[in-house]
Amino acid sequence: MTEKKKKLVTFNIFRPTLLEYSGINRKNQERFDFNILLEYIKDQSKNFSILYKNEELAIYSIVKENLDEGLFHIRIVKYRKYDVPNAYTRLDATNININDGENDFLLPDHNEEEIPLSDNTSIGESISILYDSITNTFVIQSNLHCTTTRGIITLFDSIHSKMLSENLENKEENIEKGTEYQFHLAIIPPKKVFEKVNDFDYITEVEFVYEDNDMQDDVADILGVNNDVKAGKIQARYHIDTSKDKKKSLNKSYIDKILKLFKNDKTKFKKLDLKGRNNEESNIDLVELINARLYFQHSFTYTVEKPYLDHESVYYEMEMKYLGKEGKGDYRSKANY
């Protein structure tokens, strides 16, 4: 009987954005329509690739799979040349030689062979990406054997930089001298996180770490600090003791300004924690906004004979949960609020 195993896979949801830099200082972050980059890739008819951590990371294929829903299937592949895994064949137990040597604690029950690679072949490790061209949203399979989110960002950023450099008219007319743009994938905090904060009648503590080497006075004013120091990193913790009066609360208008700043530019916040009560009788709850992200998981079944995930099955489950079919989630609406 074929042995079956399960693998739990995480799918993270992102929005494409552009980070605007002037020198080393980041000035702004704004949403970027990835459809523009898709059209460029299509026009170039090229499987773009980069060298990332000494291995080639490339776009393997892009397919507009679901025309009605505007969904694209994008496969990213790492063409693995180094630390290539070996092939293992189970040995007949009756043929395993018993060695009583003092160093032999456990003898192998498989025969190990190197997988031969020619100059033109590699071991392919892939990631499946679902791109929603209507809502401009990414769903990305987590697979560290291939690459990280940073690797995907670096790949798309290299393509975006090439597109900008070739569009000389746009570069001369619309891009200020010394200004650079960097492609980025921004996490999407679940709506329920903000709803939980809004449900607080009393906010007892806010703690944040904010980094910006080019901090503007209006931002410093929102954070409640003096910008005369010209600091590039601000750490603050505002707390109120409610042991004697549970109706005490920090100024909610100040908290609203902090949350608005966070929604507009999450990447500058390295920490943002809030504590509060829903009512006078309830316990204090902690909300950690930095670690809050929109994602879903699915448990896939595979066999020992075929110890890898079929990417078509991966895309099927991604679409089912993202579109909310068969009662499986509807993360499209959760990602766009």
Does residue 107 sit within a domain?
no
Are residue 161 and residue 206 in the same domain, yes or no? no
Does residue 100 sit within a domain?
no
Are residue 184 and residue 312 in the same domain, yes or no? yes
What distance in Å separates the CA atoms of residue 104 and residue 45, rounded to the nearest whole number? 55
DSSP 10: E
Mean pLDDT of all residues in the chain?
85
pLDDT band at 199 (very low <50, low <70, confident <90, very high): very high
The domain containing residue 28 runs over which residues?
4-83+122-188+294-335
Cβ atoms of 301 and 292 closer than 8 Å? no
Are residue 151 and residue 22 in the same domain, yes or no? yes
Are residue 155 and residue 275 in the same domain, yes or no? no
Does residue 214 sit within a domain?
yes
Residue 328 or residue 298, greater confidence: 298
Are residue 174 and residue 228 in the same domain, yes or no? no
Are residue 49 and residue 198 in the same domain, yes or no? no
Which of 56-60, 82-86, 245-249 has the lowest average pLDDT? 82-86
Q: Which of 273, 288, 303 is the last residue of a domain?
A: 288
Does residue 151 sit within a domain?
yes
Does residue 20 sit within a domain?
yes
Say how many domains are in the chain.
2
Are residue 195 and residue 184 in the same domain, yes or no? no
Are residue 154 and residue 200 in the same domain, yes or no? no
Does residue 102 sit within a domain?
no
Residue 63 or residue 224, greater confidence: 63
Please compute Rg for the chain using Cα positions: 25
Average pLDDT over residues 203-219: 87
Are residue 158 and residue 48 in the same domain, yes or no? yes
pTM: 0.79
Are residue 151 and residue 223 in the same domain, yes or no? no
Could you tell me if residue 299 is left (phi over 0), alpha (psi between -120 and 50 degrees) or otherwise beta? beta
Does residue 98 sit within a domain?
no
Are residue 137 and residue 266 in the same domain, yes or no? no
Does residue 228 sit within a domain?
yes
CA angle 128, 131, 132 (to 5 degrees): 150
Are residue 239 and residue 163 in the same domain, yes or no? no
- Tally the C-alpha atoms within 13 A of residue 161's C-alpha that lie toward its C-beta: 16
Residue 327 is predicted with a pLDDT of 76
Residue 97 is predicted with a pLDDT of 56
Residue 106 is predicted with a pLDDT of 57
